[in-house]
Amino acid sequence: MAKLIDGKAVSARIKEEVRQETAAFMEKYGIQPSLAVVIVGNDPASRVYVNNKKKACELMGFKSIEYALPEDTTQEELIALVKKMNVDPAINGILVQLPVPKHINDMAIIKSINPKKDVDAFHPENVGRIMVGEYKFLPCTPAGAIELLDSTGVDVAGKNCVVIGRSNIVGKPMAMLLLHRNGTVTICHSRTKDLTAITREADILVAAVGKPNFVTGDMVKEGAVVIDVGINRLENGKLCGDVNFAEVEPKASFITPVPGGVGPMTIAMLMRNTLTAAKIQNGIKD
Ligand code: NAD
């Protein structure tokens, strides 16, 4: 039987650390970190995420700024707002909630964000920095997954790590972070042949596919650490991961549940990145 990796507890610990560091930072420098979140349109899931981010900011002691723009906002209008925030000293972190409506090119928006304020770490400059290991920010979800892995005490060095999924937001950076920890990393994707043969070799298996219950018991090696990044909403309204928990849990040594695994980590890492952004912009190194 696997040990459950408690994302809620790890997330609460990190948020408490950030809250305390923020209080000390504000006391010492008289600067309140701030995060601006932009939401375009009326996507209900995005609205929930933005509300959660605002709430977390308030708990940290950050200033939280929201721009709620109508669905028909043009790409030019959105970029103009981002450019204004890029040079506004009262804004430390900028986050444009994805997905944006289809008529807006998300990469154009990401590229318009000042890399020093890019708390999602999606800007090509920040992605490149991660490649060469000289980064200030890590993308929140993979960074959160790595924190969960660390919480198990399992050493990644030399382990066979398999990441299913190659998105810019999760799969690719996750693979890079495992490589930084000296894992032997394989990235699998929709064109991978004989996926099961590869996943069965994994000491550490990360699922970021976006398909409910995709990873079944036969795909997992006895004793593997299984990190489930997937968040899928089933027809009955319940949340479910990419891993078939009932089948995989008896074989794994450690496993993240959904909900309560990687999900709560993303916001905690966003809070940490926002505090880092405030320090960078004010030339503070500690
Ligand atoms: P995505 O759709 O961009 O990428 C999915 C990846 O899965 C692709 O690279 C694709 O090649 C791969 N894939 C699809 N079918 C496959 C198959 N049959 N075999 C092997 N690989 C296959 O998704 P994403 O943005 O990377 O998100 C992945 C999951 O993580 C989703 O469930 C998403 O909701 C979740 N997610 C969670 C958080 C969080 O906060 N915990 C954040 C972002 C994404």
Residue by residue, pLDDT tens for the chain (286 residues) are: 899 999 999 999 999 999 999 999 999 999 999 999 999 999 999 999 999 999 999 999 999 999 999 999 999 999 999 999 999 999 999 999 999 999 999 999 999 999 999 999 999 999 999 999 999 999 999 999 999 999 999 999 999 999 999 999 999 999 999 999 999 999 999 999 999 999 999 999 999 999 999 999 999 999 999 999 999 999 999 999 999 999 999 999 999 999 999 999 999 999 999 999 999 999 998 7
Distance from C-alpha of 36 to C-alpha of 24, rounded to nearest angstrom:
22
Q: Which domain holds residue 86?
A: 29-114
- Using the mean position of ligand 1's atoms as its centre, give its distance from the Cα of residue 62 in Å: 31
Distance from C-alpha of 61 to C-alpha of 220, rounded to nearest angstrom:
42
- Using the mean position of ligand 1's atoms as its centre, give its distance from the Cα of residue 166 in Å: 8
Q: Which residues line ligand 1 (CB under 6 A)?
A: 141, 164-167, 169-171, 188-190, 192, 195, 208-210, 229-232, 242, 262-263, 266
Distance from C-alpha of 228 to C-alpha of 73, rounded to nearest angstrom:
35
Q: Does the residue 133 lie in any domain?
A: no
Is position 106 annotated as part of the catalytic site? no
Residue 145 shares a structural domain with residue 256: yes
Number of domains in the chain: 2
**Pair 229, 263: CB distance under 8 Å:** no
Residue 99 shares a structural domain with residue 209: no
Partnered with residue 96 across adjacent β-strands are 38
Is position 228 annotated as part of the catalytic site? no
The amino acid present at 18, given as its one-letter code, is V
Which two structure tokens, joined as six digits, stand for 184? 């032997």
Among protein residues, the one whose CA lies closest to atom 42 of ligand 1: 141
Which two structure tokens, joined as six digits, stand for 124? 């090509």
Q: Does the residue 68 lie in any domain?
A: yes
User: For the chain, what is the total number of helices (H) and then of strands (E)?
Assistant: 10, 11
Question: Looking at residue 66, which CATH number applies to its domain?
Answer: 3.40.50.10860
Is position 120 annotated as part of the catalytic site? yes
**Pair 206, 163: CB distance under 8 Å:** yes
- Cα 108 from chain centroid (whole Å): 20
pLDDT for 285: 82
**Pair 162, 199: CB distance under 8 Å:** yes
Q: Which residues contact 121 (CB under 8 A, 6 or more apart)?
A: 127, 130, 135, 137, 138, 139, 140, 173, 273
Residue 145 shares a structural domain with residue 40: no
Rg from Cα positions in the chain = 19
Of the candidates 15, 116, 118, 120, the residue annotated as catalytic is: 120
- Using the mean position of ligand 1's atoms as its centre, give its distance from the Cα of residue 178 in Å: 17
Residue 167 shares a structural domain with residue 244: yes
pLDDT for 153: 98
**φ/ψ of residue 226, rounded to 5:** -120, 120
Residue 200, judged by CB atoms within 10 A of its CB (0-12, 13-18, 19+), counts as: middle
Residue 100 shares a structural domain with residue 147: no
Q: Does the residue 60 lie in any domain?
A: yes
Question: Looking at residue 152, which CATH number applies to its domain?
Answer: 3.40.50.720
Q: Does the residue 283 lie in any domain?
A: no
Residue 198 shares a structural domain with residue 259: yes
Distance from C-alpha of 29 to C-alpha of 37, rounded to nearest angstrom:
24
Residue 149 shares a structural domain with residue 192: yes
Residue 104 shares a structural domain with residue 157: no
Q: Does the residue 23 lie in any domain?
A: no
